[in-house]
Chain A
Amino acid sequence: MLKNSRTVRNRPHLSKALRSTKASSLFAAAAAVACLAVTACSTGSAGGAGGGSTAGGATAGAAAASSASAASPVSSIVTSDSAADANARANLAQCGLSVRHVTDASGTVVTIKGDPSRIVTVQPSFADEASLVGVSPIGIGDDNDPSLIIPQIKDRLKSYTSIGLRQSPNVAVIGQLHPQLIIADYVDNVSMLGQLRAIAPTIALLSDHTDYGQNLDSALNVGAALNRCAPMKAALAAHAKVMARIKAELNQADHRTFIFALSNKKNTSVFNYQQYATTVVSYLGLTAAARGGQFQAGDAKGTSMETLVTLNPGVIFYANENNTPASLLTNWEQSPVFQAMTAYQDHAIYHVDQRTWSLMRGVTASEVIAQQAVSLLGGK
């Protein structure tokens, strides 16, 4: 049974390649996956036993993310220039200049003048980080649903105009806002950067399909773009203290394996060790179980009960899509097979909020995730 009832939501990953167009292209994509099947069969990668195999099932999003930058370590939080990635370091060096040449995740050098205050952010995580240094965006991507943004972030924001879907924000609305700077999501919005740059200087940063460390680098880049590097470093230093305090609340000997899963009525997906919330919980000291073998590529995998039971994590955090009370995964809890799992036996299956754990990302969301995880795990 469920030990707790928090709620959250998550992102389609398998779907990314399939989402943008019509059903016909859906089947075309299906055919492409089928070709992978043939490759897998011909290389004899699948065996009877639960061993790994060689076929890579990387999704579009994950592939784009990994091409953008390698996963950064999350054992230490990026608060100093030296710990940041090369892009962020170079961008921080621009701070204080009235005209700055900021290199974004796509490798494009974007010229930004002065201190932009009228900004549009496609991801709530960028809005969170801008608001940390005193800039409240005038337009934010919230999927036309104000409740998408968690209250811990929204409380700090002034009123804003919704620019619609994060995957495909409304360019006309953005144009009417006359922004001085647009912060887009590199993975989600790469195909529309040209359109956005026709409106205002646009930097594409990492948020969706990226991990905790990469998001902290994004925060530094937001600081550099806004010409507010020192306040951003101070905000990240404060964040590091908060995270260290939360981590200290947890039993330091708790290195149990865990997974974060997302379920709805028809499907259960397990995220691999690079997923955002998973990297935050890893920072706390637990061990991400979904790594290596087939988990190495791609970030969400449709997982049967048998595969989950074989993985046998010590702790399961799960969210139901749209925060529904029931899902395929909650149905599984009636099964003796599921009940044989360590996490079930130890009452370590926790329902969490999809929005916080899977849709937000960024500085504030990571603090909320960490605090919730520690509360659920019981602290010392």
Chain B
Amino acid sequence: MAAGTLAGRARPRPDPSAATRHATTGVVVALGLAFLVAGAVWDLCIGASGMSPAAVLHALAGPASSISHQIVWTIRMPRVLLAAIVGGTMAVSGVIMQGAAANPLAAPDIVGVSAGAALVGVAGTVIFTSLSGTALVLASIGGAAAAAFCVIGIAGAGQGRTGTARLALAGVTVTAMLLALTQAVLLLHQTGTAGVFFWLVGGVNFASWHDITTVAPWAAAGMTGAMLLARPLNILALGEDTARGLGLNVTRIRIIGVLCTVCLAGSAVAVAGPIAFVGLIVPHIVRLLVGTNHLVVIPVSGLLGAALVTLADVACRYVQFPFETPTGVVTALLGTPFFIYLARSQARRTR
């Protein structure tokens, strides 16, 4: 059951039949798409100036000069798109980290990637105030990469074999240090940190098209890398020794995995802040639903991550409408009960 699944390294369980598995995957994909589309449409309809779905369509079809068109196109649309992109990239980066580190707790927010990007994001907003928005995003991705390679260095991944526990411990250690530094920056610069706390919870509340064009190339590169890693990760799931025996260069796969995570999660955090939970839990939910084949888990995680953050963005609008509450506040609230339900029902079935 969950023990095997949660470990992220279980062999694909013997299925009653491949057809059942395909049918389940089909249902999950269809439901994920339905939730994503419903969430996106709902999100597009929320805003201080109102608008029904029909009005949104009418506004989009209307002249570009009209205010309602501008509101939907320049304020609401990038927000919905960014929610989907950030959700998808965070979830896929979680799959890659868990697979590459062979550790169920691995996720961008655990292995330092989110914390590295967040520290640079905070420092760039509070201390290095002359940094432009684009430069800050690039610097944040650099921070994510630095943190990730710091973790790998401490865990000794460069010298061959890396115990999975060592990688997780190194990640937790570096994350703790980065969080402490972030807090120090905030504590010592209290006069200019109002909006930074908002950003630190993570959210797509103030998204613009510029954010989309900034994050898109990184997301595309990361997603491509992730799909290329799917087969090697399937082999690695058989166990590190077996994978090596089969000729897999485990160290190289891990480094490529971290690079993918930096592209995916680093860029997402740089733009939307460290939205927690998505990268950790969505991959587990997906494995519980569709099995452990990374060729399926990666795209389905992207889909469900996108749906989750889009729905979370809808929910966060209602906290103090028409004002903004960080999207990250509700991601865990939406995802955790679902995960607990899945894990428990799976446990019952296998008992």
Residues on A facing B (Cβ under 8 Å): 9-15, 18-19, 22-23, 26-27, 30-31, 33-34, 36-38, 40-41, 45-50, 53, 55, 57, 143-145, 148, 165-168, 262-269, 294, 298, 300-307, 309-311, 321-322, 324, 326, 328, 331, 335-337, 340, 354-355, 359
Closest 3 CB pairs of A and B: A267-B195, A302-B324, A15-B197
Beta-carbon contact of A26 and B48 below 8 Å: no
Beta-carbon contact of B71 and A306 below 8 Å: yes
For residue B57, CB closer than 8 A to chain A, the reply is no
A322→B183 CA distance, assembly (Å): 18
A26→B52 CA distance, assembly (Å): 35
Q: Which of B133, B179, B198 has the most CB of A within 10 A?
A: B198
Number of A-B contacts (CB under 8 A): 220
Beta-carbon contact of A41 and B315 below 8 Å: yes
Beta-carbon contact of A354 and B191 below 8 Å: yes
A13→B192 CA distance, assembly (Å): 11
Residues of A within 8 A of B191 (CB): 9, 11, 143, 145, 148, 321-322, 354-355, 359
Beta-carbon contact of B198 and A53 below 8 Å: no
Beta-carbon contact of B49 and A302 below 8 Å: no
- Taking a contact as CB atoms closer than 8 A, the residue among A38, A309, A321 that contacts B195 in the complex is A321
Beta-carbon contact of B320 and A55 below 8 Å: yes
Interface 0/1 of B173-191, CB less than 8 Å to A: 0000001001100111111
Q: Show 13 A/B contacts (Cβ-Cβ < 8 Å), sorted by A.
A: A12-B194, A12-B197, A18-B197, A19-B197, A27-B276, A165-B188, A266-B199, A266-B206, A301-B324, A306-B76, A309-B71, A331-B208, A336-B65
For residue B205, CB closer than 8 A to chain A, the reply is yes
Stretch at the interface among B218-226, B237-245, B325-333: B325-333
Residues of A within 8 A of B186 (CB): 19
- Taking a contact as CB atoms closer than 8 A, the residue among A19, A37, A168 that contacts B325 in the complex is A37
Beta-carbon contact of B130 and A324 below 8 Å: yes
- Taking a contact as CB atoms closer than 8 A, the residue among A166, A301, A305, A331 that contacts B320 in the complex is A301
For residue B227, CB closer than 8 A to chain A, the reply is no
For residue B126, CB closer than 8 A to chain A, the reply is yes
A355→B130 CA distance, assembly (Å): 18
For residue B235, CB closer than 8 A to chain A, the reply is no
For residue B47, CB closer than 8 A to chain A, the reply is yes
Beta-carbon contact of A48 and B51 below 8 Å: yes
* Segment 14-35 of B: residues with Cβ below 8 Å from A: none
Query: With A37-B325, A310-B322 in contact, do A302 and B67 touch (Cβ < 8 Å)?
Result: no
Chain A minimum-CB-distance residue to B79: A304
A237→B129 CA distance, assembly (Å): 41
Chain A minimum-CB-distance residue to B178: A23
A267→B323 CA distance, assembly (Å): 12
Beta-carbon contact of B318 and A40 below 8 Å: yes
A70→B45 CA distance, assembly (Å): 38
Beta-carbon contact of B192 and A57 below 8 Å: no
Beta-carbon contact of A26 and B195 below 8 Å: no
Interface residues on B, range: 35 or more
Beta-carbon contact of A26 and B208 below 8 Å: no
A83→B211 CA distance, assembly (Å): 52
Beta-carbon contact of A269 and B317 below 8 Å: no
Query: With A267-B206, A337-B70 in contact, do A306 and B325 touch (Cβ < 8 Å)?
Result: no
- Taking a contact as CB atoms closer than 8 A, the residue among B51, B76, B198 that contacts A14 in the complex is B198
A148→B191 CA distance, assembly (Å): 9
Given A33-B325, A266-B198, A267-B206, 16 additional A-B pairs, CB 8 A: A9-B191, A15-B198, A31-B329, A37-B333, A48-B50, A48-B52, A165-B190, A266-B125, A269-B194, A294-B320, A304-B75, A307-B48, A322-B129, A331-B208, A335-B70, A336-B65
A26→B316 CA distance, assembly (Å): 17
Beta-carbon contact of B326 and A268 below 8 Å: no
For residue B85, CB closer than 8 A to chain A, the reply is no
A55→B190 CA distance, assembly (Å): 28
- Taking a contact as CB atoms closer than 8 A, the residue among B70, B126, B132, B329 that contacts A33 in the complex is B329
Beta-carbon contact of B50 and A266 below 8 Å: no
For residue B91, CB closer than 8 A to chain A, the reply is no
Q: Which of B70, B126, B326 has the most CB of A within 10 A?
A: B70
Beta-carbon contact of A335 and B74 below 8 Å: yes
Chain A minimum-CB-distance residue to B324: A302
Q: What's the minimum C-beta distance from A298 to chain B, rounded to whole angstroms?
A: 8
For residue B136, CB closer than 8 A to chain A, the reply is yes
- Taking a contact as CB atoms closer than 8 A, the residue among A13, A46, A328 that contacts B318 in the complex is A46
Q: What's the minimum C-beta distance from A16 to chain B, rounded to whole angstroms?
A: 9
Beta-carbon contact of B48 and A37 below 8 Å: no
Beta-carbon contact of A354 and B192 below 8 Å: yes
Beta-carbon contact of B48 and A304 below 8 Å: yes
Query: With A23-B183, A48-B51 in contact, do A37 and B194 touch (Cβ < 8 Å)?
Result: no
A245→B265 CA distance, assembly (Å): 57
For residue B193, CB closer than 8 A to chain A, the reply is yes
For residue B46, CB closer than 8 A to chain A, the reply is yes
For residue B201, CB closer than 8 A to chain A, the reply is yes
Interface 0/1 of B302-341, CB less than 8 Å to A: 0000000000000111111111111011101100000000
Beta-carbon contact of B206 and A48 below 8 Å: no
Beta-carbon contact of B322 and A321 below 8 Å: no
Residues of A within 8 A of B67 (CB): 336-337, 340
